[in-house]
Structure 1
Amino acid sequence: MIKYQLKCECGEEFESWFSNSKEYDNLEKKNILSCQCGKSNNVCKKIMSPQISSRKELNSNQKTFLKIVNKKLNDLRKYVENNAEYVGEKFVTEARSIHYDKKNIRNIYGKATPEEKKELYEEGIETHTVPWLNKTDN
């Protein structure tokens, strides 16, 4: 995982996590990144200093921080699993069906490519990407 400090053309600054730098580059290239205010897709990385440490150098504060982050991400996963229906690869179809009143409103989660997420966004269908830890991740 990599964290970037981002800035929107509206002046909003925020942090976001990506699985790697290539993921950020792909999302930026496809103009899928959007500001937290929801008003713009013109988002860019800010210059930031790297925080590099080896596993040996992790101090107790960092270990505690990572433990808390993992717990919160696992709690988020459990919450989504308990309060939404998993539709897997059918996510885009189901989201459109719900949006266009062809199916009853319900909470769903599943899989969509960055391109599909962009299409949904352009149709006015709100979705969110959630960092998803495998159940075996600590």
Structure 2
Amino acid sequence: MKVLDLQCRQGHSFEGWFASQDDYDAQRGRGLVTCPVCNDSEITKMLSAPHLNLGHGTAPVSSQGDSPSSSASPAPTRDEVSVDATTSAHSPAVPSEALQQMQAAMMKMVRHVMANTEDVGGRFAEEARKIHYGEREERNIRGQATREETEALLDEGIDVLPLPVPESLKGPLQ
């Protein structure tokens, strides 16, 4: 199993699991590897360090019985590896922890909206009006509306909020 750190053009980072490098290449070539946040299929493999479990013992002791030399540093773990951003002009920047937290918060919010609203599809503007004017029971809805429909709803005093929903969340929630 090959675990890859991936990133889309918008800078969203995510992890992908593949049977092999060939499997990743084949899926990416067919457009099957997409960002779970924005559905972008232009994906870049990020530099990552493998985590190697080389044993559970302590560091070896020298033949004189001394402790290991303090000048020798232990092998870096995945979290300790750093990459010089100047090594390649083509490698995207690693997102900051704050950006990753914002992405996670956005996905959590989108999942909450998806789980707590009724999808009315292309009838969104019509349903929003009926609810606003008391012709339908009040409930939380989501759906699609054109820019013109959205502006007309706002002009009528009907509060709406555009929400980009990743393709991966548009199907049934598990």
TM-score (norm 1): 0.52
For 2:131 and 2:97, the matched residues in 1 are separated by: 41
For 1:110 and 1:135, the matched residues in 2 are separated by: 16
* Aligned twin of 1:24: none
Q: CA deviation at 1:86?
A: 0.8
**Structure with the largest fraction of helix:** 1
Q: CA deviation at 1:70?
A: 2.4
SS at match of 1:135: helix
* Aligned twin of 1:104: 137
Q: CA deviation at 1:55?
A: 6.0
Unaligned runs of 5+ in 1: 2-18, 20-53
Aligned: 1:56 with 2:91: yes
Q: Pick the structure with greater CA Rg.
A: 2
Q: CA deviation at 1:123?
A: 1.0
SS at match of 2:119: strand
SS at match of 2:125: helix
* Aligned twin of 1:74: 107
For 1:106 and 1:57, the matched residues in 2 are separated by: 43
**Number of positions where the alignment pairs a residue of Structure 1 with one of Structure 2:** 83
Alignment-mate amino acid for residue 162 of structure 2? T
Structure 1 segment 1-138 matched on structure 2, within 5 A: 56-59=91-94, 62-135=95-168
* Aligned twin of 1:41: none
Alignment-mate amino acid for residue 100 of structure 1? Y
| Aligned-CA RMSD value | 2.3
TM-score (norm 2): 0.42
